[in-house]
């Protein structure tokens, strides 16, 4: 039920704020921005949700500072470190690919990676604030940025095909 409230808020936000705005700019803009919105909604689901029902309890638990020792779990073989590294890398590959497309295909590598870093940093800072059972880790931040770099590389590789598809959508309007 807690997640349902967050998803309902995301659907309402998309329906009443973003859909009309993006649709008026063309089907290509609507498609790319909708993919980014869905992607970011899943990132929220896996990293921060439930959010809305957690707000009243934010100050009811101690805030655990970020672990600032990179790859300590890997070096000490703690927990499911390999799974965490792989999943954190995979999680931001779509960001690296979609972000330049949401910026009218003009976002440079440095801008894309900066925004990937800021998204990841925001998530890592908010995780222990929203939920006392979650922690933040510099390794997650590093692997998220690596995922963004891989995503941007895929964007560069598939740019001709992607642009062809989006241009085809634009001419159908």
Query: What pTM value is reported for the model?
Result: 0.91
pLDDT at 7: 96
**106-156 tens-digit pLDDT:** 789 999 999 999 999 999 999 998 888 888 999 999 999 999 999 999 999
User: How many domains does the chain contain in total?
Assistant: 1
58-62, 101-105, 119-123: range with highest mean pLDDT: 119-123
- Per-residue pLDDT band for 171 (boundaries 50, 70, 90) equals confident
39-48: long-range pairs with CB below 8 Å, 24+: 39/94, 39/95, 39/98, 41/7, 41/10, 43/91, 43/95, 43/119, 43/123, 44/6, 44/10, 45/3, 45/6, 45/7, 46/91, 47/123, 47/127, 48/123, 48/126, 48/127, 48/130, 48/131
- Per-residue pLDDT band for 173 (boundaries 50, 70, 90) equals low
Domain with 127, as residue range(s), is 2-171
Average pLDDT of span 72-80: 87
Please give the share of the chain, as a percent, with pLDDT higher than 90. 75
**26-44 tens-digit pLDDT:** 999 999 999 999 999 999 9
């Amino acid at each position: 039920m807690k997640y349902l409230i967050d998803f309902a808020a995301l659907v309402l936000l998309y329906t009443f704020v973003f859909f009309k705005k993006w649709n008026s700019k063309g089907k290509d803009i609507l498609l790319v921005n909708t993919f980014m919105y869905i992607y970011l909604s899943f990132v929220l689901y896996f990293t921060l949700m439930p959010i809305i029902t957690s707000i009243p309890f934010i100050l009811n638990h101690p805030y655990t500072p970020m672990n600032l020792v990179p790859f300590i779990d890997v070096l000490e073989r703690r927990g499911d470190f390999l799974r965490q590294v792989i999943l954190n890398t995979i999680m931001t590959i779509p960001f690296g690919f979609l972000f330049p497309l949401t910026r009218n295909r003009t976002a440079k590598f440095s801008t894309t990676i900066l925004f990937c870093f800021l998204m990841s940093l925001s998530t890592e800072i908010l995780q222990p604030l929203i939920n006392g059972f979650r922690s933040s880790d510099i390794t997650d931040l590093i692997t998220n940025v690596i995922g963004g770099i891989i995503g941007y590389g895929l964007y560069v590789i598939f740019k001709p095909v992607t642009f062809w598809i989006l241009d085809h959508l634009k001419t159908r309007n």
